């Protein structure tokens, strides 16, 4: 059985977290993680380009087989929600352009998969990532969230494979 690498992305215009895990059977292992943070003073189009290029570099460097992106929650500020949607588009387009299947998960699903409750906060998610992927070392909140998205996808794909076998 060969390991499947999963890229998890937590999109944001200021900070897009990314994390790559490998799954082999029931075993999850940390591959890499980080944050893509375009400079705030760049024009909007260049910030999006920085996200596109940064995610592209992660895909080339770590050659994932699948990708998973966290869905964004609805923001009360329409302009902020629209800008976040653009960042999310980069997180969806780059892996798709590389030929990867891309899954999307609600934040509550991700939190429940990793912490056990959909109401978990960022501190609880980071705590569980440190326990589930001890070789990851310390991860920023954005990178921990991205690793959590990858873990949620690993759990969901396992559940789908069990369902197909039934």
Res 165: pLDDT: 42
- Band the pLDDT of 161: cuts 50, 70, 90: low
pTM here is 0.93
Of 24-28, 75-79, 138-142, 145-149, give the range with the top mean pLDDT.
145-149
142-162 average pLDDT score:
87
% pLDDT > 90, the chain: 79
| pLDDT > 50? residue 90 | yes
Is 121 an active-site residue? no
Q: Could you tell me the strand order of the sheet in which 102-105 lies?
A: 27-36, 16-24, 4-10, 66-70, 102-105
Catalytic residue among 104, 121, 142, 145: 142
% pLDDT > 70, the chain: 92
Among the listed residues 77, 68, 60, 61, the one whose alpha carbon sits nearest the alpha carbon of residue 17: 68
Structure-block tokens of residue 39: 């400079």
Dihedral pair phi/psi, residue 20, rounded to 5°: -120, 130
How many CB atoms sit inside 10 A of residue 49's CB? 14
pLDDT tens sequence across 30-67: 999 999 999 999 999 999 999 999 999 999 999 999 99
Separation of alpha carbons 9 and 3, rounded Å:
19
Is 70 an active-site residue? yes
| pLDDT > 80? residue 101 | yes
Is 53 an active-site residue? no
Catalytic residue among 24, 57, 66, 70: 70
| pLDDT > 50? residue 77 | yes
Mean pLDDT, the chain, integer:
91
- What letter would DSSP give residue 134? G
């Amino acid at each position: 059985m060969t390991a499947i690498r999963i890229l998890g992305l937590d999109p944001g215009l200021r900070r897009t977290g990314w994390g790559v895990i490998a799954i082999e059977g029931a075993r999850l292992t940390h591959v890499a993680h980080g944050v893509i943070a375009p400079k705030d003073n760049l024009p909007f189009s260049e910030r999006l380009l920085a996200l596109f290029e940064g995610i592209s570099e992660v895909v080339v460097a770590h050659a994932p087989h699948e990708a998973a992106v966290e869905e964004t929650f609805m923001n009360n500020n329409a302009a902020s929600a629209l800008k976040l949607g653009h960042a999310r588009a980069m997180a969806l387009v780059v892996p798709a352009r590389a030929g990867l299947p891309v899954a999307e998960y609600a934040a509550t699903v991700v939190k429940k998969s990793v912490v056990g409750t959909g109401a978990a906060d960022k501190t609880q998610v980071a705590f569980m990532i440190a326990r589930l992927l001890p070789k990851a070392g310390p991860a920023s909140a954005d990178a921990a969230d991205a690793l959590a998205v990858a873990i949620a996808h690993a759990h969901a794909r396992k559940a789908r494979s069990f369902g197909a076998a039934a």
